[in-house]
Amino acid sequence: MLKENSINPTFFKPSLNLWVLLDWIFPPFCVHCQKIGYEICPECWNGIPRLSNTLTCSRCGKQIVKGQTCRVCRDLPPAYDQLKSWSNYDDTVREIVIGIKYQRRLGLVRYLTPALADLIRNWQIDIDVMAPVPLGEKRLHERGYNQADLIAKPLARTLHIPYRPTTLRRVRETRSQVGLDAEERRVNLNSAFAAEPEICRDQSFLIVDDIATTGATLDACAAALREAGAKSVFCLTVARTNLSPNSNPKNTEVRI
């Protein structure tokens, strides 16, 4: 048995040891299957349906069955250059996103960061600045943090890309996107964002968010960045809801 004075006095100092201690008192459990000892266990993590081997629209990242771009992007190209997502929005990813968004489970972000960093490296795009999709003041106040910021910040640090979380701001509160179809979402978000010209001029951006459904939020962000002088705008989300051409985004749970 350890005597009191034999405990290494540095034990409680490094934050890593504090996390080890907290993990011992409150062991993590898998977000999907609840297996003890993991934020997400290897089986559940490996079962997430990545989009890297799937045919997707080269512009908006939506799954398509043939060709290069989807009909929507051909008819009405978005303001961003490209939108990519890491995975399909299945049950496990939904639980990861909810864990980060409502329970602040930062241990889950530590799994996502290297996976998203790999995606960006393979993408081979030039990025000058990274920024999150901003929350409105009211929602930021209610939740206390922006989940897109929790995802984007460690990613920018890993990739050594300058991170400017105040690049975009919401200039008006928007109603929830839940229950709106694609056109209603676009109208709802029209001029909802503004960007700082001093940060944006001639810069190439990567904007990060948790989920994309129709991509309307990222399209509105990209439009604000372009208006402020951005050279190019790329968008990345953790997940993409799998909408077939005939499915209705009204039935899809998304944030705003």
Beta bridge partners of 208: 132, 236
Using the 8-state DSSP alphabet, how is residue 145 labeled? S
What is the nearest approach in angstroms of Zn ion to the Cβ of residue 166? 29
Check binding of 133 to Zn ion (CB under 5 A): no
Which is nearer to Zn ion, 45 or 229 (by Cβ)?
A: 45
Host H or E run for residue 83: strand 82-88
**255 HSE (CA, 13 A, CB side):** 24
Each residue 29-48 as x (binds Zn ion by CB under 5 A) or -, in order, gives -x-xx-x-----x--x----
Check binding of 240 to Zn ion (CB under 5 A): no
What is the distance between the alpha carbons of residues 226 and 81, in angstroms, rounded to a whole number? 11
Which is nearer to Zn ion, 129 or 218 (by Cβ)?
A: 218
Check binding of 70 to Zn ion (CB under 5 A): yes
Which is nearer to Zn ion, 134 or 215 (by Cβ)?
A: 215
Check binding of 73 to Zn ion (CB under 5 A): yes
Which is nearer to Zn ion, 77 or 114 (by Cβ)?
A: 77
* Binding-site size, Zn ion (CB under 5 A): 11
Sign of CA dihedral 109, 113, 119, 120: positive
Burial class (CB in 10 A: 0-12, 13-18, 19+), 151: buried
What the block records as the tokens of 66 is 């043939």
Query: Can you give the binding site for Zn ion, defined by CB under 5 A?
Result: 30, 32-33, 35, 41, 44, 57, 59-60, 70, 73
